[in-house]
Structures are given as structure tokens and as C-alpha cells.
């Protein structure tokens, strides 16, 4: 700790002496070193964010396309044929295309948007700024982390344009379907590209994660003890730990699957006759892959959710002008969630023929997660109680996050209970559940973060009116889309059915599916409006004129309005208190940098 | 044309919204930023309250509209347990849902920014934390207890007198096998699977238990009402899943790893036709695990009937072995035609090796 700190003054001098007010960082910076191969954590964060936004548009557009099929099966949309050719013959989405769309929608949003785009962005931007560091522990590895992500993106994107199409066995890519090109076109070249792309993605995620962990542990400014860190940083820390421990397991699964596909091994294959052709593989286990996949897959949902929780806690406290209620309990529950995240993966596998006794253990551990989740919800509610709440767009998204987290969390209690899961497993109920709690809720956390820290990122504000429209349409839309969808699942309607008209049991929801499709198109259009607002405001938004526009306590607001590489001009400030002294002793807020006063009350 | 029109409207709507949003920023500056911020705050606080009330009404309305469309009473003994667990969970979670959502939006509305109020500095209270750790923990213990109790009942050993039926999934169809008079399903080996040789499931004819097994495909599976049935589930190519929504049962079909599930159907298909007032009612088998481009249409049917009806149906079926035996006898005589086929098979086997 002391060693790390002693290095700082030197950096300070090299940075400061030649500095002008732009705070541009190194003086020999060229366009390429400043904006492309940048080692500034803030620029890398923005790179993650913008790449994430582009992927979100792609992934969101895919969902609109397959919602068209679900809402209007059998109807022809000639424009689709114009764009997609034989994939939408006669203007109708072909089954291969449909499954490619859902697979890529899931892959892109889970990994590229809500993992890289969310924690990549905010861990990068917030960790050094909020703990008081000039940059990440290794700016070089940090830069590589982004460029491996970029490489993964290029490979995944290229798989969309090949003859046999991208992977189409669902984002969970269960073998044997994903292992056998004979079983599905999407399991040909597209699947290899998917696996290679994910391998690159995992490298990126590991480089990033190790960096976040070492930065948080070693590079905090003077006085910034672990329990004085904002909850955002704690959340990013646990997120990084989860990623570092679980992503390698997916990597091993992906590599074994590549071997099965290309080298004739039988890790996941046994007793297979596909289209009349008897395959030689014996002795593998298809279920083994599911264990490997979900050992990452379940922590992954917390990798997505925890950063959102952290940012929501911070934003809620700032805008309620009140400390976050139960800081230690919030921290403990984050820790409990992080531990339990590793012990519940088999609840995705209750109906695979899993030993029922093993299943019952996973029921117990899964429902245990509801306890720390409940603590978090009650603490957020108490944070609002008797506050003096300012509804900035960020705050509205934070409130929306809590609402969605409650709704989606409660339906998790249905699915985590193996008895009910027998009926609801792989139905639309699951789709509704995880879209609310992991998809939309995390997106709300991300939006809250973008609205809140946009002034720090770009020195300008997002347009508020567009922000409010964005929030209200998305909030109402999210519930209209996913709430009624639970009923489809209660009727047992399986997921990934592109046309239910041939079924006696599931054909009663035609009107509902139409409604959902219309709403999702509207919601998608409003997201495009947000994207427009984002890019427009980078250049033309209202300028930030004060250093601390939200009246917040944390360190990022002590930097210049447009901080350069190195973040602080002069010495890094010292921290004297926790970050949540809002409304204490009659004062609106007391920044972390202010020493404890002589007459100050204790909390 | 229509598409262009829609796109034009969208673009126009967007431009108008954007101009208004832009203008509102200038207006705010003209009227004083602080004042207009406070007004916006009031509007959003009010909207949160409206959202709460409209949302709760919406939840009620949605339930009224859709509750009749979920599948009605379960048609198996295990289904009753699943539904009971579901409604216990629903009752508890709904209470929590209403309390927490009301608190969230009501607090947001009530404690919106006002010049007359100062936020209350309230960083922690250990008693409260303990309360809302313990209460959820107790509630969940109850749910876990019920859940595991029912789970073991459902996944426990099938009764001795249960009839057995084998279900085999492959892209994109279901095939069935009944054990015949000896009540034992004969052994199989996947490399024996060969439609041309009348052996679609890969039965080993050396095993005498196979000689009376009855193979059924292209028609519904038949089950007997109030008689436990144990399904032995397998797959030939990729993972499928036997989903029986009306019985509330589900189990994956995994190539290489046979799985089982058992239940007792309690209503015949005829009963259900009356109960649902739908003359076209059938029990359906849906594939619930993504299995390729035909996943959505991988449909099977089940007929639940009385023992007499079932016996009459089964009596009309010949064991698969009967179809294979005459072929075997004929084989030497038709040497010239079968020889190339055999050769071809062995060549394929060589290539695979």
C-alpha cells in the first residue's frame, strides 16, 4: 500500500509540470494514441461503451426482427427479403434465420453489451476516479483488454455474413446440437467462429478483471480504506472476482467443444445417430458441457447485475440526499451473492436427469440467494424513506431498476424451486423472468450510470427531456412486454417456438404476441432516440460548468470538469470519511476529501 | 410504399420530439434553471405515483384477461403437487410484490424534493437489518421445505406396477416403444439403428426381451387413466425434452444418457374434451429443449384412455421383431440385391473408423 502510494508523487510531477488546461495527458499524444490505442482508463471506458452501444443496436434489432415473426407468423414483410435475401424468403423469416437471430440476440446482449459494455465501461471509468488513482494498475493490459474485445467483436460480426449463417443453437450452445454440423446449419462454420470469438472475449474479460482487482486492492489513495469505498467499487470488485474465477471454466468448455467439432474427440458426444448416419463417438457426456457452461453461466448473471446494483446504490444515495442505508449490510449482501453465485449453477439443469438429491441441494442454495437480495431491496427502500429526492433521469432509472429487480427476483423464487421448475423450465416464463431481472434491470442500471456520469465522461449533459421520455417509455414498455409473457409460460408454452398456430395447447396467445411485438418496436425506437441523444450530446450537449454538478461526495467530482490522463491536476486528494455523508449535521453533503470536524456527530 | 410511409412518420416524430426537447432546454434557461428543474421534479414524482396505481390496475387487468388461458387443472397426480407449490409461492411472492412496489413508488412520491424538508440522516439500524434478514429466511425455509418434499415425491422411484413406455426423440419427431407381454424393454445399441433394416431404435435382437416389444411411431402414445406410467426417455441425435404441459411434467431426452420420469394420468382425453369444452382437445408432447430448425414443430400426441380401450389398441400392434424375422429368412435368396447394401454399410463403417 505504502509503496504504491509513494510512486504517485513522481507521476504527479511528470504530468503536471507541462500541463495546460485541456488536461490532455501526455504531451506527445497523437490522435492514435489518444483516441484509438489509448491507455487512459477513461478513453478505454468510452471505447467499451460505444462498442457496447453499437452491439446493443444490433442485438436489439435482432429481437425486433424475431418479434415480427412471433407477433405476425405467416405474414410477409417484403422489406426483410430485400435486406436478408434467402434468409427471409418471400418476406418471411425462415426457421434457420429465426434461430440464428435468437442465438445472436442472446450472445450479443449477455456478453458483448451487458458484460463488456456494462462492467467494461463503468469499471474502467469509475475505479481509478472513485478510489483516487491516476490510472489502472496496468494501462497496457487494460488497452489490450479492449482490443481483444474488439477482435472478438470482429469475429462474431463476421459470422453473421457467412453462407451457412451464425451459430443458431441458442446462446447456451448445448452440444450435441452445437457440435454437429449435420444437425443444423448454424453448427457449421458459424459455431467455430462463435467459439473462437468467445475465447477472445474471455481473454479480454480476464485481462480487464485482473486489472480491476489489482487496482482496487493496491492503488487506493491515502485514507481510502476498503470500507470507505463507494458501493460501486465494491460491486465492480466482486464482479471482477466472479469473472476471473468463472470465465476460465467456459473457456475450457469452449475449447473441448472445438476439439469435439474438429478433432474427433468425444468429450460431449455419445451414442449419436444424426440423419441416419451413425457417429463413432462413445463415452462422452452432453450434460458435462452444461455443467461447464452454467458454472460460468450463473455467475455471469451476477457479473451483469452486480455493477448495476452498485451504481444504483450510489445514484440513489446521491439523489435522495441521504446516506445509503446499511452500507455494511449492502456490502455483506454483495459478498453473499458473489459466494452463492458459484453454488447454484445446477438449478438450470433440474430436468436434465440430474440426481434428485443433488437437485434438492441446489434448490436450497438457490433460494438462499433471495435473502441477500431481499436485504438489498429493503435497504434501497429505506434509503428513499425520508429523503429529499431529486428525479434526475439517472435517479428514475435507479428507481426503475429496483422495481424490476423486485418483479424479476420474485419470479426467480418460482424457478429456483425444482418442483415448480418441472413445469416452467424452458417456457416463456423463464424468458420473462430473466429478461426482467437480468436484461432490463441491468440495462436500467447501465442507463442510470450513463445519465449520471455522462457529465464526467464528456463534460456535457445529456438532454433531460429526451432522458425522461426514454425512461418512461422504456419502463412502461418493459412491463407491457414481459409481465404478460409470464402467463404464456404458466400455460407451458416452450421458449424458442417461432409459430404456435399448429399447437392445441399454446395457440391461445395470438393477440398477446401481437401486442408485445408492437410495444417492443416502440421501445426499440426510443432506445435509438437515446443513442441519438448520446452522440448528439457528446458534441452539442449543454456544457457542464461546475465541478460537482450533482453535489456528490465521491472523488471523481474533485477532478477537473474534463480530466486529462492522470485525472487530478496536482496531488491526488486524501480521503477522510466514507462516501455517504449526505444530510449530516444539517449539511447537504460533505465530500470524502473533507477532514472530520471537531464537533461532527458520529454515524 | 407502406414501409416508406411508416419510416417517414417515425423520422418525423423523432425530429419533432427532438426539437421540443431542444427547445425545453432553452426555455429552462430563460425561466431559471433551478425553477424549471423543481417543476420537472414534481411532474416526475407525480408520474411515479400514477405508474404505481396504473401498474397495479394493469396487473389485475392482465390477470383477468389471461387467467383463463393457462392450462386449467392439472391432469396428473404430480401435476396437482406442482400446481399447489406454484400457488403457495404465488401467494407469498404476491404479498411481497405489492408491499415492496407500493413502498418504492410511494416513498419516491412522498419524499420528493421539497424546500421544506431536509433529508433525514439515517445510515444504519442493525435491528431492522436483522428483521429483514430473518423474515425472508424463514419464509424461504418454508418454501424450500414444501418444494423439496414435493420434489422427492415426484422424482422418487416409480411404483412397481407402473407401465413402462419408451420415448425417443430425434429431429424432429417422437417414437415410442411398449415392452410387450414380458413388461421388459429389450436392450438397444445405437449402432444398430437402421431404418432400412426395420430397426429404428437400434434394438438388439439377441435379447429375447426385445422379441415382444412394440414400436409405435407416427401416431399418439397411448396411456391408461389412473395407472402410473414410467417413461424411459432417450434421444438419437441432439438433446430434446419431453414436455407434457397438462401433466406438468418435463424431462430432457439426452443422447447417450437415458432418463426417466413417472406420473399417473388422472383424466382421459375424453374427460378433458368435456372439461375444456374443446372437441379438438389433445394432450401434446412438446419439445422443450432447442434442437434445431424444426424445434418449434416437434410435436407428439398422447391419448389417455381406459384399460379396455388401451388393451384393444395394443392388441392390434405387431412386435417389431415380427417385421424383421421374415426379412431374415428371405435374405439368402435375395443375395444379389442385399449384398451391395451390406457392402455399402461396411464401407461406411470403415470410413467412419
Q: Could you report how far apart the first and last alpha carbons of chain A are, in Å?
A: 27
CA distances from A361 to A343, A358, B136 (A): 10, 5, 19
**Does the model's pTM come out above 0.90?**
yes
* Per-residue confidence band for A540, with pLDDT thresholds at 50, 70 and 90: very high
Residue B257 touches partner A, C-beta closer than 8 Å: yes
How confident is the model at residue B14, as a pLDDT? 85
Question: What's domain B163-329's superfamily in CATH?
Answer: Cupredoxins -  blue copper proteins (2.60.40.420)
Q: What is the pLDDT of residue B21?
A: 86
Q: Kindly state whether B48 is in contact with chain A, defined as any CB-CB distance less than 8 angstroms.
A: yes
- Mean pLDDT, all residues of chain A: 92
Asked if A402's CB is within 8 angstroms of B278's CB, the reply is no
Q: What ipTM does the predicted assembly reach?
A: 0.91
Closest residue to A492, CB basis, from B118, B245, B294: B245
- Is A603 close to B124, i.e. CB distance below 8 A? yes
Say whether residue B117 is in contact with chain A using an 8 A CB cutoff: yes
More confident residue, A13 or B265: B265
Confidence of residue A474 (pLDDT cuts 50, 70, 90): very high
Chain A interface, best mutation among B6, B117, B122, B351, by max A CB count within 10 A: B122
Nearest to A388 among B111, B171, B246 (CB): B111
Answer yes or no: are the C-beta atoms of B241 and B298 closer than 8 Å. Answer: no
Per-residue model confidence as pLDDT tens digits over A520-531: 999 999 999 999
Q: What is the pLDDT of residues A358-374, one digit of tens each?
A: 999 999 999 999 999 99
Read off the pLDDT band of B17 (50, 70, 90).
confident
Helix (H) or strand (E) holding B233: strand B229-235
Which domains are delineated in chain A?
Answer: 2-13+38-586 (1.20.210.10)
| Tens of pLDDT, residues A436-467 | 999 999 999 999 999 999 999 999 999 999 99
> Which residue would you say has higher pLDDT here, A600 or B232?
B232
- Which residues in chain A have Cβ-Cβ distances shorter than 8 Å to B285? none
Query: What are B175's strand-pairing partners?
Result: B168, B217
What is the model's pLDDT at position B332?
Answer: 44
User: Taking CB atoms and an 8 Å limit, are A469 and B21 in contact across chains?
Assistant: yes
Out of B47, B97, B251, closest to residue A353 by CB: B251
In this complex, is the C-beta atom of B91 within 8 Å of any C-beta atom belonging to chain A? no
* Nearest C-alpha in B relative to A484: B62
The answer to whether residue B194 scores a pLDDT higher than 80 is yes
Report chain A residues whose CB lies below 8 A from the CB of B243: 426, 492, 494
Which are the contacts of A3, defined by CB distance < 8 A and separation ≥ 6?
none
pLDDT beyond 90 at A191:
yes
Cβ atoms of A431 and A394 closer than 8 Å: no
Q: How confident is the model at residue B328 (pLDDT cuts 50, 70, 90)?
A: low
A314: nearest Cα among A256, A243, A401: A401
All three cell numbers of B298: 416437434
Which one of B17, B24, B89 has the shortest CB-CB distance to A529?
Answer: B17
Q: Which of A199-213, B188-202, B338-352 has the highest mean pLDDT?
A: A199-213
Region of residue A492 (left: phi > 0; alpha: psi -120 to 50; beta: else): left
Average pLDDT over residues B179-195: 92
Whole-angstrom distance, CA of residue A467 vs CA of residue A474: 10
**Contact (CB<8Å) A426/B241:** yes
Return the pLDDT at B346.
44
In this complex, how many residue pairs, one in chain A and one in chain B, have their CB atoms less than 8 Å apart?
376
Q: What is the mean pLDDT of residues A42-65?
A: 96
Of A413, A476, A503, the CB nearest to B93: A413
Q: What's the whole-number mean pLDDT along residues A18-43? A: 70
Distance CA B59, CA B70 (A): 16
β partners of residue A508: none
Distance of CA A427 to the CA centre of its chain: 23
Between A287, A367, A586, which is nearest B257 by CB? A287
B232 to chain A, any CB pair closer than 8 A? The answer is no
CB A212 within 8 A of CB A141: no
Q: Comparing A406-420, B22-36, B57-71, B283-297, which segment has the lowest mean pLDDT?
A: B22-36
* pLDDT at residue A603, rounded to an integer: 62
Is B113's pLDDT higher than 60? yes
Evaluate if residue A19 carries a pLDDT over 80. Answer: no
Mean pLDDT, residues B229-243: 96
The tens digit of pLDDT for each residue in B146-175 reads 999 999 999 999 999 999 999 999 999 999
Among B28, B41, B129, the strongest candidate for a mutation testing the A interface, having the largest count of A CBs within 10 A, is B129
Q: Does the structure show a pLDDT above 60 at A9?
A: no
Mean per-residue pLDDT, B286-303: 95
Interatomic CA distance for residues B95 and A443, integer angstroms: 26
Cβ(B166)–Cβ(B188) under 8 Å?
no
Rounded mean pLDDT, B248-256: 95
User: Which candidate in A172, A331, A417, A462 is best for mutational testing of the B interface (most B CBs within 10 A)?
Assistant: A417
- pLDDT greater than 50 at residue B319: yes
Q: Which residues pair with A183 in a beta bridge?
A: none
Tell me the pLDDT tens digit for each residue of A291-312. Answer: 999 999 999 999 999 999 999 9
Closest Cα partner for B169 from B239, B247, B249?
A: B239
Partner A contacted by B101 (CB < 8 A) = yes
Which triple of cell numbers denotes residue B263?
Answer: 406420473
The answer, for B96 touching chain A at a CB cutoff of 8 Å, is yes
Amino acid at each position: 500500500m505504502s509503496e504504491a502510494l509513494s510512486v504517485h508523487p513522481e507521476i504527479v510531477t511528470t504530468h503536471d509540470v507541462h500541463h495546460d488546461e485541456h488536461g490532455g495527458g501526455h504531451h506527445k499524444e497523437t490522435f492514435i494514441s489518444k483516441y484509438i490505442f489509448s491507455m487512459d482508463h477513461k478513453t478505454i471506458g468510452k471505447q467499451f461503451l460505444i462498442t457496447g452501444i453499437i452491439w446493443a443496436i444490433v442485438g436489439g434489432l435482432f429481437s425486433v426482427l424475431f418479434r415480427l415473426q412471433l407477433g405476425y407468423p405467416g405474414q410477409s414483410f417484403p422489406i426483410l427479403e430485400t435486406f436478408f435475401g434467402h434468409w427471409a424468403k418471400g418476406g418471411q423469416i425462415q426457421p434457420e434465420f429465426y434461430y440464428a437471430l435468437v442465438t445472436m440476440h442472446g450472445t450479443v446482449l449477455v456478453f458483448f453489451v451487458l458484460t463488456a459494455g456494462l462492467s467494461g465501461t463503468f469499471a474502467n471509468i469509475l475505479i481509478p476516479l472513485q478510489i483516487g488513482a491516476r490510472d489502472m494498475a496496468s494501462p497496457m493490459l487494460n488497452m489490450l483488454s479492449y482490443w481483444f474485445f474488439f477482435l472478438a467483436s470482429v469475429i462474431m460480426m463476421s459470422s453473421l455474413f457467412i453462407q451457412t449463417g451464425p451459430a443458431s443453437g441458442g446462446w447456451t450452445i448445448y452440444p450435441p446440437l452445437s457440435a454437429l454440423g449435420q444437425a443444423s446449419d448454424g453448427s457449421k462454420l458459424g459455431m467455430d467462429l462463435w467459439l473462437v470469438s468467445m475465447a477472445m472475449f474471455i481473454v479480454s474479460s480476464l485481462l480487464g478483471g485482473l486489472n480491476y482487482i489489482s487496482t482496487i486492492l493496491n492503488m487506493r489513495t491515502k485514507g481510502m480504506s476498503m470500507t470507505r469505498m463507494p458501493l460501486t467499487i465494491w460491486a465492480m470488485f466482486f464482479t471482477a472476482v466472479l469473472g476471473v474465477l468463472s470465465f476460465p471454466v467456459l473457456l475450457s468448455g469452449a475449447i473441448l467443444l472445438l476439439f469435439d467439432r474438429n478433432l474427433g474427440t468425444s468429450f460431449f458426444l455419445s451414442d449419436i445417430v444424426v440423419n441416419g448416419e451413425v457417429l463413432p463417438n462413445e463415452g462422452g457426456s452432453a450434460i458435462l458441457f452444461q455443467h461447464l457452461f452454467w458454472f460460468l453461466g450463473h455467475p455471469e448473471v451476477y457479473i451483469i447485475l452486480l455493477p448495476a446494483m452498485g451504481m444504483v446504490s450510489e445514484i440513489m444515495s446521491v439523489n435522495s440526499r441521504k446516506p445509503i442505508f446499511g452500507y455494511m449490510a449492502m456490502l455483506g449482501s454483495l459478498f453473499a451473492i458473489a459466494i452463492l453465485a458459484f453454488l447454484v449453477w445446477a438449478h438450470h439443469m433440474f430436468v436434465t436427469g440430474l440426481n434428485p438429491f443433488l437437485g434438492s441441494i441446489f434448490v436450497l442454495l438457490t433460494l438462499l440467494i433471495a435473502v441477500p437480495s431481499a436485504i438489498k431491496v429493503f435497504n434501497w427502500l429505506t434509503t428513499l424513506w425520508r429523503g429529499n429526492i431529486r428525479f434526475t433521469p439517472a435517479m428514475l432509472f435507479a428507481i426503475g431498476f429496483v422495481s424490476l429487480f423486485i418483479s424479476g427476483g420474485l419470479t426467480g423464487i418460482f424457478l429456483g424451486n425444482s418442483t415448480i421448475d418441472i413445469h416452467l423450465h424452458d417456457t416463456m416464463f423463464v424468458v420473462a423472468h430473466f429478461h426482467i431481472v437480468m436484461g432490463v434491470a441491468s440495462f436500467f442500471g447501465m442507463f442510470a450510470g450513463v445519465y449520471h456520469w455522462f457529465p464526467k465522461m464528456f463534460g456535457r449533459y445529456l438532454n433531460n427531456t429526451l432522458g425522461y421520455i426514454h425512461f418512461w417509455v422504456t419502463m412502461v414498455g418493459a412491463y407491457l412486454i414481459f409481465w404478460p409473457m409470464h402467463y404464456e409460460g404458466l400455460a407451458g408454452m416452450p421458449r424458442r417456438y417461432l409459430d404456435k398456430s399448429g399447437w392445441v395447447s399454446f395457440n391461445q396467445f395470438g393477440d398477446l404476441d401481437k401486442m408485445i411485438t408492437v410495444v417492443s418496436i416502440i421501445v426499440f425506437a426510443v432506445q435509438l432516440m437515446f443513442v441519438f441523444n448520446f452522440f448528439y450530446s457528446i458534441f452539442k450537449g449543454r456544457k457542464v460548468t461546475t465541478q460537482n454538478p450533482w453535489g456528490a461526495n465521491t472523488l471523481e467530482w474533485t477532478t477537473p470538469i474534463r480530466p486529462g490522463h492522470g485525472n487530478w491536476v496536482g496531488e491526488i486528494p486524501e480521503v477522510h470519511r466514507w462516501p455517504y455523508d449526505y444530510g449530516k449535521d444539517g449539511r447537504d453533503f460533505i465530500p470524502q476529501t473533507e477532514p472530520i470536524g471537531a464537533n461532527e456527530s458520529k454515524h | 410504399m407502406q414501409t416508406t410511409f411508416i419510416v417517414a412518420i417515425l423520422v418525423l416524430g423523432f425530429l419533432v420530439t427532438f426539437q421540443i426537447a431542444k427547445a425545453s432546454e432553452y426555455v429552462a434557461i430563460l425561466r431559471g434553471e433551478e425553477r424549471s428543474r423543481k417543476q420537472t421534479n414534481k411532474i416526475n414524482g407525480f408520474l411515479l405515483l400514477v405508474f404505481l396505481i396504473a401498474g397495479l390496475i394493469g396487473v389485475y387487468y392482465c390477470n383477468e384477461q389471461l387467467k383463463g388461458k393457462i392450462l386449467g387443472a392439472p391432469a396428473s397426480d404430480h401435476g396437482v403437487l406442482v400446481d399447489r407449490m406454484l400457488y403457495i409461492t404465488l401467494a407469498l411472492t404476491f404479498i411481497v410484490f405489492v408491499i415492496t412496489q407500493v413502498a418504492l413508488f410511494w416513498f419516491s412520491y412522498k419524499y420528493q424534493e421539497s424546500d421544506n424538508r431536509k433529508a433525514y440522516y439515517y445510515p444504519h439500524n442493525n435491528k431492522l437489518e436483522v428483521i429483514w434478514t430473518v423474515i425472508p429466511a424463514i419464509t424461504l425455509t418454508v418454501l424450500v421445505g414444501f418444494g423439496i418434499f414435493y420434489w422427492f415425491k415426484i422424482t422418487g422411484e416409480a411404483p412397481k406396477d407402473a407401465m413402462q413406455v419408451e420415448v425417443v426423440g430425434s429431429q424432429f419427431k417422437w417414437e415410442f416403444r411398449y415392452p410387450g407381454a414380458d413388461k421388459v424393454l429389450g436392450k438397444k445399441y445405437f449402432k444398430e439403428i437402421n431404418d432400412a433394416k426395420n430397426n429404428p431404435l437400434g434394438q438388439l435382437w439377441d435379447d429375447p426381451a426385445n422379441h415382444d416389444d412394440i414400436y409405435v411411431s407416427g401416431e399418439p402414445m397411448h396411456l391408461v387413466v389412473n395407472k402410473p406410467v414410467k417413461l424411459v426417455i432417450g434421444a438419437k441425435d441432439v438433446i430434446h425434452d419431453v414436455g407434457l404441459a397438462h401433466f406438468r411434467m418435463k424431462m430432457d431426452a439426452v443422447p447417450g444418457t437415458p432418463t426417466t420420469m413417472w406420473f399417473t394420468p388422472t383424466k382421459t382425453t375424453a374427460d378433458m374434451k368435456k372439461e375444456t369444452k374443446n372437441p379438438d382437445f389433445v394432450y401434446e408432447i412438446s419439445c422443450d429443449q432447442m434442437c434445431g430448425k424444426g424445434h418449434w414443430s416437434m410435436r407428439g400426441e398422447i391419448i389417455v384412455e381406459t384399460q379396455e380401450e388401451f388393451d384393444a389398441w395394443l392388441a392390434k400392434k405387431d412386435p417389431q421383431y415380427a417385421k424383421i424375422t421374415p426379412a431374415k429368412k428371405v435374405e439368402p435368396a435375395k443375395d444379389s440385391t442385399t449384398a451391395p447394401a451390406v457392402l455399402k454399410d461396411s464401407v461406411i463403417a470403415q470410413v467412419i473408423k
